[in-house]
Amino acid sequence: MSLESLYQDIILDHYKYPRGRGLMESPLGTAFHVNPTCGDEIDMQVATSEDGGLLIGYEGTGCSISQASASVLYELVQGRPVADAEGIRLAFVDLMHSKGHADPDEEVLGDAIAFVGVAKYPARIKCALLPWMALQDAEIKGGLMSEPGSDQE
């Protein structure tokens, strides 16, 4: 396994030049998640636009994988309907649990397909998932999504 397969240029680019980074004034829901094994932090905020699109605000500190993942998240779900964003989120979670054997759909995951190599490094999967878990939590807190399992019969 080469370093380049883990740190694809897309990831390093998002790390150096994060898209949409910054917090909003009045979010519907916020979630602060940390990775207790390494101290990486992410502050995730959600709101909705007038036409029902998801709005994202975030800040964080941490490794290139966790911070690039937040930037890619922003790029993928900003302005999308909440249900679409959830589909993307689940596709990303699946990709991270693929042990690196997935053939991710670029149509759905865009730049996030670059994270396929991360799934080969168990210690780094949590880094990549951190902002996406915070997104789910922020959506639940903002009333945009129900608790997992709560809609089951």
Partner 1 sequence: MTGIDVESIRSDFPILKRRVRDDKPLIYLDNAATSQKPVEVLDAERTYYETSNAAAHRGAHQLAEEATEAYELARAQVAGFVGADASNIVFTKNATESLNLAAYAFANATALSRWGTSVDPRFVLQPGDSVVVTEMEHHANLVPWQEVCAKTGASLRWVPLTDDGRLELAGLDGIIDASTKVVSVVHQSNILGTINPVVEIMAKAHAVGAVGVVDACQSIPHLPVDVSALGADLVAWSGHKMLGPTGIGLLYGTAEILDAMPPFLTGGSMIATVEMERSTYAAAPQKFEAGVPMVAQAVGLGAAVNYLERLGMAQVAAHEQVLTAYSLMAIGKIPGVRIIGPRAAVDRGSAISFVVAGIHPHDVGQVLDNMGIAVRVGHHCAWPTCRRFGVPATTRISPYIYNDLNDIDALVEGIVEAQRFFKVAS
The residues of the shown chain that bind partner 1, judged by CB under 8 A, are: 1-3, 6-7, 12, 37-41, 61-65, 121, 124, 127
C-alpha span between 84 and 133 (Å, rounded): 16
> Residue 91 has which token pair?
């596709």
Q: Please report how close the Cβ of residue 125 comes to partner 1 at its closest, in angstroms.
A: 12
Question: To the nearest whole angstrom, how small is the minimum distance from the Cβ of residue 31 to partner 1?
Answer: 19
Q: Between residues 11 and 95, which has the closer beta carbon with respect to partner 1?
A: 11
CA torsion through residues 12, 8, 58, 99, sign = negative
User: How near is the Cβ of 130 to partner 1 at its closest, in Å?
Assistant: 12
Cβ at position 37, least distance to partner 1 in Å: 6
CA distance 99 to 149: 25
Cβ proximity to partner 1: between 63 and 140 the closer is: 63
Considering the complex, state which of residue 13 and residue 75 has its C-beta at the smaller distance from partner 1.
Answer: 13
Question: Among residues 66 and 77, whose Cβ is nearest to partner 1?
Answer: 66
Q: Quick one: 27 or 62, whose CB is closer to partner 1? A: 62
User: C-beta of 94: minimal distance to partner 1 in Å?
Assistant: 23
Angle at CA of residue 37, ends 18 and 67, nearest 5°: 5
10 Å CB burial of residue 54 (0-12, 13-18, 19+) is buried
The answer to whether 121 and 2 have CB atoms below 8 angstroms apart is no
3-class secondary structure per residue, 82-96: HHHHHHHHHHHHHHH
